[in-house]
Amino acid sequence: MYPSYLKPEIACEKLLKKLHVKGISDRRVLDAFRKVPRHRFVDKALFDQAYDDNALPIGLGQTISQPYVVALMTQLLELKENEKILEIGTGSGFQAAILAQFSMRVYTIERHRELGERSRRLLRELGYHNIVFKIGDGTQGWPQHAPFDKIIVTAGAPVVPRELTQQLAVGGKLLIPAGNRQVQELELYHRRENSIEKSTEGSVLFVPLIGQSGWEE
């Protein structure tokens, strides 16, 4: 149970005020955070930290991302209704739950079977039935379901995997942290009819993206 002295609803509203001050202006993103109980995605020992604006460990060397980073990445994707989204790095499942508020279908890939199955069970329990799960190498994407309107990568890559840009629909956007293991730039790619536009959205720090087109384990 969440601590009785700090109700999740109150803690969440305090967090949302902080996110708004830091530049999260999309009301749809803030509303999505209200609907997802973040304390359910962390270990019970960390319940009282669930609504702090910090990353938290979830086991196997992985983390649930800082709420501001989750909100920023969601806002940058400029999600529309009924889009098909690919997420690389299911992790705790929290980002997938946020994306599912906007999407017709979220496809999410996790390389750690334990994490992937844990997230699938939790998200099903919470009523998310528009999320499709896969255990595997996220750097290769999910070609059977391509093209995707939006692709979001929640681990730091040395370079942007070509497989992911190839699975992006015309007009679609790919958001990925890319750089070295110590710091990455959040890179946003917008696929046009005959080209791909790139912009950078600030420095971030994610766990490494492991896979054939990422870092070696």
Mean pLDDT of 103-107: 94
Q: Which residues contact 201 (CB under 8 A, 6 or more apart)?
A: 72, 76, 175, 185, 186, 187, 188
- Average confidence (pLDDT) over 69-95: 96
Q: pTM above 0.85?
A: yes
In this structure, what token pair is assigned to residue 167? 């699975």
Residue percentage of the chain with pLDDT more than 90: 93
Taking only the tens place, the pLDDT of each residue in 47-69 is 999 999 999 999 998 999 999 99
CATH architecture of 55-204: 3-Layer(aba) Sandwich (3.40)
pLDDT for the residue numbered 98: 97
CB-neighbour burial class of residue 53 (10 A; exposed 0-12, middle 13-18, buried 19+)? middle
Cis peptide before 161 (omega within 30 of 0): no
Q: Judge whether 65 counts as a catalytic residue.
A: yes
Model confidence pLDDT, tens digit, residues 122-175 = 999 999 999 999 999 999 999 999 999 999 999 999 999 999 999 999 999 999
How far is the first Cα of the chain from the last one, in angstroms, to the nearest whole number? 36
- Would you call 6 exposed, middle or buried from its count of C-beta atoms within 10 A (0-12, 13-18, 19+)? middle
Domain definitions of the chain by residue range: 55-204
User: What token pair was written down for 170?
Assistant: 């015309």
* pLDDT classification of 5: cutoffs 50, 70, 90: very low
| Phi, psi of 77, rounded to the nearest 5 degrees | -70, -20
Q: How confident is the model at residue 217 (pLDDT cuts 50, 70, 90)?
A: confident
Mean pLDDT of the chain: 94
The pLDDT, as a whole number, for residue 1 is 52
Q: Which distant-in-sequence residues (6+ apart) come within 8 Å of 112 by Cβ?
A: 60, 62, 135
Half-sphere exposure of 16 (CA within 13 A, CB side): 20
> Of the listed 4, 25, 65, 199, which one is catalytic?
65
- 34-49 tens-digit pLDDT: 999 999 999 999 999 9
Q: Average pLDDT of 10-14? A: 95
pLDDT for residue 177 is more than 60:
yes
| 201: confidence class by pLDDT, cuts 50, 70, 90 | very high
Residues 91-97 have a mean pLDDT of 98
